Copies of this chain bind each other. A is one copy, B any other.
Amino acid sequence: MDTHILVTNDDGVDAPGLLALAQEMYKLGQVSILAPDRNWSGGGHVKTIGRPLRVRQIYLADGAIAYASDGAPSDCVALGVFGFFDKKIDIVVSGINPMPNLGHDVTYSGTVTAAMEAMIWDIPGVAFSLGSVENHLSLIDYRPAARIARATVANIIQNSLPQGIFLNVNIPHLPEEAIKGFRVTRQGNRVYRDRLEKRIDPRGKPYYWIGGDAPTGIPQEGTDIGALDGGYVSVTPLQLDLTAYPAQNILNRWSWERHTSQTEDVPA
């Protein structure tokens, strides 16, 4: 078995969370690293089609060859899947993100949308993020989470993900012995606390920050937020059918025949 593992992230190819993840992946197979050349946090599920992408070879701190692209995390996955590397990609591993990706974060998150992109191309994808960190980001020890990522990826290689499924994994930022185990979860309810902050630049013109406080969430039993809050690794299987099936019946009761025709038009 020589599983070809593509490692990417959304914090940029030089992020310590990627290096820690890659170092554990070496133990499971052949590793290729292709990640954005800058931070894409909150960058969403991108397909860059309006401009071409550049890819530059670099060396990571451990001497490994890696590739830095000016595309989004999902573009990096597309590049890998479409043949940037000669060898077919068997699994896409994204992270380790220094902040959790919980609840509705999953469509914003570059970390998660990299795994999402893998699934679009029928390749197993898994995103790894750390639970909330009290201390400064530069003080994070990613190694316990990276070992848990290795156990998770080994599990995926052994069992195979069901078709159309990708995994969103959040790992408590705790010493390994303090982590209570794994929980298979569902998306919880994130509580966003963004606010608009209007400021005036030195030339008197306004600019706007999407500011406010970090999101919180409702730590309900069975959810990603609840598992992480309780000291467990949260493993959420995700899929891309967003259809709100129960709402179909409600919408079907609306009157869709009231159809605005040209002759009903009134001048604006």
Interface residues of A (CB under 8 A from B): 23, 26-27, 39, 41-50, 52-55, 72, 74-75, 78-79, 82-84, 104, 106-108, 113, 116, 120-121, 147-148, 150-151, 154-155, 159, 162, 164-165, 176, 181-182, 184, 186-187, 192, 194-196, 199, 205-210, 235-245, 247-248, 250-252, 254-262, 265-266, 268
**Residue among A107, A196, A205 with most chain B CB within 10 A:** A107
| 20 more CB-based (< 8 A) A-B contacts, given A44-B113, A54-B207, A184-B256 | A27-B268, A44-B44, A45-B45, A47-B210, A49-B210, A52-B207, A75-B210, A82-B194, A107-B240, A147-B262, A162-B247, A162-B250, A164-B244, A182-B259, A184-B248, A235-B251, A237-B250, A237-B251, A239-B244, A239-B247
User: What are 25 A-B contacts with C-beta separation under 8 Å?
Assistant: A42-B48, A44-B44, A44-B46, A44-B72, A44-B74, A44-B107, A45-B108, A52-B199, A53-B210, A54-B208, A78-B194, A79-B210, A84-B208, A104-B240, A147-B262, A151-B260, A154-B258, A155-B255, A164-B244, A165-B247, A176-B261, A186-B248, A187-B242, A235-B256, A239-B242
- Asked if A210 and B78 make an inter-chain contact with CB atoms under 8 angstroms apart, the answer reads yes
Q: Which residue of chain B lies nearest to A153 when distances are taken between CB atoms in the complex? A: B260
Q: Which of B48, B52, B116 contacts A107 (CB 8 A)?
A: B116
- Asked if A52 and B186 make an inter-chain contact with CB atoms under 8 angstroms apart, the answer reads no
Give complex CA distance A46, B234 in Å.
24
Give complex CA distance A206, B48 in Å.
17
- Asked if A42 and B49 make an inter-chain contact with CB atoms under 8 angstroms apart, the answer reads yes
Counting from the closest, the 7 A-B pairs by CB-CB distance are A44-B44, A82-B196, A182-B256, A237-B247, A239-B244, A42-B47, A186-B243
Give complex CA distance A186, B262 in Å.
29
- Asked if A238 and B248 make an inter-chain contact with CB atoms under 8 angstroms apart, the answer reads no
- Asked if B260 and A150 make an inter-chain contact with CB atoms under 8 angstroms apart, the answer reads yes
- Asked if B84 and A268 make an inter-chain contact with CB atoms under 8 angstroms apart, the answer reads no
Which residues does chain B contribute within 8 Å of A182, judged by CB atoms? Answer: 256, 259
- Asked if B245 and A186 make an inter-chain contact with CB atoms under 8 angstroms apart, the answer reads yes
Which residues does chain B contribute within 8 Å of A208, judged by CB atoms? Answer: 52-55, 79, 84
